Structure 1
Amino acid sequence: MAQDVDVVVVGAGVAGLAAARHLTGAGLTTAVLEAAPHVGGRMSTEKVDGFRLDRLGRLLSTSYPELRHTPGLDALVLCPFSPGVLLHSDGHRHHTGTPGTPRSARGALTTARALASAPRLPLSRPTRGTARPGPLGGPLDQSRLSAALARLASTPPERLLTRPDLTAAKALTTRGLPARTADAFLRPLLAALLCDPELGTSSRCADLALHSFATGRLCLPEGGADALPELLAAALPPGTVHTGVEVTAVSTTRVTTKDHGELRCRAILLATGARAAAQFLPGLHVPAFHPVTVLHHTTDEPPLTEPALLLDADRSGPVAHTAVVSQVDPARAPAGRALISSTVLGTPPAAAHLDVAVRAQLARLYGTSTSRWELLAVHHEPEAVPAMPPPHDLRRPVRLLAGLYVCGDHRDTSTVQGALHSARRAAHALLTDLDVRPAAPSAEPLESAA
């Protein structure tokens, strides 16, 4: 490693890599130090026998502004789910759509499927049979939900942030929707978007999540979650990223590593998780965390041919949401095999019983036997997603003092969008302090990129 650089970024997750891309684009020499042997942090993908298995499987949206504002992501390909979601209720699956016309991300960001050609789905209809009522109540209830989502989609994020900040669970009772509709659709949807099964999250953050859902399409990066950080790393100048380098101490002008000596610099940006950042910066806020467990199964025939996100409105088991991700992104499984990825939120059952309970629930959700499915991997992350209880500050400071900055999903919203936005905020503050002009100022102000 060079002994003198302008900026040292500690951590090569998506926030650290995005910040480094903003900084190098402005002409600053930058070194990104990562203790792990690979980039990506929690946004990593395990490769097993031709399968690509995400460790967390976080859902993205084509409406995320930072996917457009982060340089280096022009080649990112997003694989969209079907419009809306599938709800399993009382033994039947129901399509539940979103209002308006789905929009894809602007600019060079592309999708693996043409969003404009996707057929619109009615708000709720059974996938088989027509006599049974949907889980959202009668036509009037469905119309109210459609109107509520349409209003949310047309409301600027800045206005959403002026609403009273309650828990998401409490806010559901104040939206003027029937309890059945809120419980059967909004509760499981928000749990999936926020990784929070109890919905103790700030209602403002929940509204932002629903706004993204209503104005875009849920999607996955083609080839695995690690496609995003790998694109960012590849866009940096050669020699910028150094993996396997453990940082032991930081100051405003010097970084000490375990086995690679010291690195002098003009500024330091901490882009680790909240707990790791607090080890370097005593007193830094460390939030509670939501645990997430992802199970990956494979079989020879897909149990569902539609590229849909399937939610359990009945909450009949540990799985919050599941999908045949090889139907969403064929690159994630070898030819002739189907990959089913299922997410368990909160503390999972004991390891000895987890797969048994998950298989039983998936058999109900997909309407097929799962006894012959092969379990490929179980990934458990106890500190997967920083909690955002109310009142939640969506703009935690990224400038601690001149020369010392911090970014990550614990500074904004606990999403990929939040991590990327915090990176842009931190890079902007650092460049301002060093009196360096950004190479290409974003067309969208930092304050409005919720």
Structure 2
Amino acid sequence: MTPELDVAVVGAGVAGLTAAHELRRAGLTVRVYEEQPHVGGRMRSFRHDGYTVDTGAEQISSRGYRATWELLARLGVPLDDVPRIGASIAVRRGGRAHPGVAERRAVLTGAGLSPRARVDLARLLAWSARRRGAFDDDHPERTPLGTATVAEFAARYHRDLHDYLLQPLCGSFFGWDTSRSTAAPLISLLLAVGPTAGWRTYRDGMDLLARRLATGLDVVTGRTVHQVTADLDTARLHLEDEVVTARAAVLAVPAPVAARLHTTAAPEAAAYLSACTFTPALKVSCLLDRPLAPVCDRPLYVLLTPRVEDRVLSCVIADHVKHPQRAPAGKGLLTLMADARTLPDLLRAPHSEVVDRLTTAARRYVPELGTAGRQYFVHAHSHGLPEATAAALGLRARFMARGTCPVEYAGDWVMLRPSSEGAVRSGALAASRVLARLPRRAGRFAPQSQETTS
């Protein structure tokens, strides 16, 4: 039987949409299937009563996001639609906010670090500068750090570097446990993106890229793929009421979901899929009647709340400071991120209890929050961000060197880079692997891979 499609993509997040976009450019017939009623995945945004609420990712960077910026340019997205955030990131310590986290001048200003810790921060920066060439964010498994965890790496330095810098960054932006996730991907990413002064956001919500990619693609939302099977030449997507055949399939879903959908993966793929565990994520969006933010002597975009200071929250994000169009004029929008230790209970709790626990904790940093809240939304992701465990890092090279087959994979977990840039690079890589197997249509050119498999 002749397959219905050249390629079927499962998942309409940024990774899946990037893969579909690249394959469509190469002249193939492509269809994307998405279980949710919307595109965007963990970069979804929604609009409500004049507010723009980001349910997942919060920012991108001017540096270290080469594939994303190339894609934005191809899509015709002007730089004005990706404005610089500009405000500071602070860490909470000793009853106040210390701005300047992840900025170069933190060695001088402290940013919550003790004088002795600042000396060790200078040591860490000098060490990483000397070895910058050894850190390739496309190949985190090849760095001098091996499979050392973040906590093991931090143990070389003053305790403050873990407690008031690395742990808060990992816990808030990645949801990582520093005793489980490895340092190599983290250091590679920090070196690639540089200081926070270069961080940007999308003007009209973090789903801008997903929406632009989906335009012109064949995207079917609200349809669940229950199983993916394949033989040497054909992939089959088993939906509730039909079986869709394609010459190839791309599973652009979290690794645990991909493993469940395609149970007959090759050994090197199956082993890596099994090792790529994910941390859940939960956040509460607070729609406010006035523009409140954590108290600080500088405008704050994020207040990190380290585990040694707070057992409920990992950070507070002032979305209306991130970009003023996130909230109507004169209003405010805060995001409260839950600490990973609270998630087992919160994921099972009613939303009203989740809101109460997180807003109560946040009033320590935003005292007027209790009287300013208009409406609250809870966003939970059972597969929040991929952990870069030692097991996954050790298996990645073999996974990347596997041969091509009818079923390919995309997602930030493929790159072990928990970011939208990791998703974009993985989507382009999946597309190039598909095109290596399928004849290209005349008059089109295949995209170049963002990573080699050698």
What TM-score bracket applies, with the shorter chain setting the length? 0.7 to 0.9
Superposition deviation, residue 233 in structure 1: 0.8
Mapped to 2, the partners of 1:199 and 1:70 lie a distance apart of 35
In 1, the alpha carbon distance for the partners of 2:408 and 2:41 equals 19
Give 1:142's aligned residue: 118
Q: Are the equivalent residues in 1 in contact too, given 2:292–2:369 (CA < 8 A)?
A: no
Distance in 2 (alpha carbons) for counterparts of 1:429 and 1:218: 31
Give a deviation string over 1:208-238, Cα, whole Å, max 9, x none.
232244256333332222222111112x45x
Equivalent residue letter for 1:55: T
Query: Aligned match of 1:269 in 246, 250, 259?
Result: 250
Confirm or deny: 8 A CA contact 1:202 1:391 kept in the other structure.
Answer: no
**8 Å Cα contact 1:295-1:377 kept in structure 2:** yes
Q: 1:435 to 1:225 in 2, by over 3 A?
A: same
CA distance in 2, matches of 1:248, 1:303: 44
1:138-183 CA-partner distances (Å, limit 9, x unpaired): 2x64254246336536713339632221111111112xx3222332
Residues 174-209 of structure 1 deviation map (CA, whole Å, 9 limit, x = unaligned): 2xx322233212221222232114442111112123
3-state SS of 1:365 partner? coil
Look up the SS of the partner of 1:169 in the other structure: helix
2:333 aligned partner: 339
1:179 to 159, 170, 186: 159
Are the equivalent residues in 2 in contact too, given 1:15–1:423 (CA < 8 A)?
yes
Q: Which one-letter code corresponds to 2:9 in the other structure?
A: V
For 1:149 and 1:73, the matched residues in 2 are separated by 36
Equivalent in the alignment of 1:291: 280
Query: C-alpha displacement at 1:282, in angstroms?
Result: 1.0
Distance in 2, Cα, partners of 1:9 & 1:390: 29
Alignment of 1:39-188 (within 5 A): 39-63=39-63, 64-70=65-71, 72-75=74-77, 77-82=81-86, 85-98=89-102, 123=107, 125=109, 135-138=112-115, 141-146=117-122, 148-149=124-125, 152=128, 155-156=132-133, 157-158=135-136, 161-163=142-144, 164-174=146-156, 177-188=157-168
Residue pairs, 1:300-379, within 5 angstroms: 300-304=289-293, 306-313=299-306, 314-346=308-340, 347-348=342-343, 349-350=345-346, 351=349, 353-366=353-366, 368-374=367-373, 375-379=375-379
| Secondary structure of the corresponding residue to residue 42 of structure 2 | coil
Per-residue CA deviations over 1:229-268 (Å, capped at 9, x if unaligned) read 111112x45xx22223333443342534536644443222
- Answer whether contact 2:303 2:316 (CA < 8 A) is retained: yes
- Read off the aligned partner of 1:33 and give its amino acid letter: Y
What letter is aligned with 2:331?
A: R
Q: 1:446 aligned to 2:430?
A: no
Structure 1 unaligned residues grouped into runs of 5+: 101-120, 126-132
Query: For the residues of structure 1 that align with 2:401 and 2:55, how far apart are their CA atoms?
Result: 27
> RMSD between aligned alpha carbons?
3.1
Number of aligned residue pairs: 412
Q: Is the counterpart of residue 9 in structure 1 residue 9 in structure 2? A: yes
Q: 1:269 to 1:382 in 2, by over 3 A?
A: closer
Matching residue's letter, 2:15? A
| Aligned-partner SS, 1:190 | helix
Segment of structure 1 superposing worse, 391-400 or 17-26: 391-400
Matching of residues 397-436 of structure 1 within 5 Å: 397=400, 401-413=404-416, 414-436=418-440
- In structure 1, the residue corresponding to 2:392 is in which secondary structure? coil
Specify whether residues 203 and 330 from structure 1 end up closer, same or farther in structure 2 by C-alpha distance, changes over 3 A only: same
Q: Distance in 1 between matches of 2:244 and 2:292?
A: 53
Q: Percent identity?
A: 24
Alpha-carbon distance between aligned partners in 1 of 2:305 and 2:41, rounded to the nearest angstrom: 29
CA contact (8 A) 1:294 1:343 kept: yes
Cα distance per residue 1:59-114 (max 9 Å; x no partner): 433322221343655417334443662111111211225456xxxxxxxxxxxxxx
Normalized against structure 1, the TM-score is what? 0.80
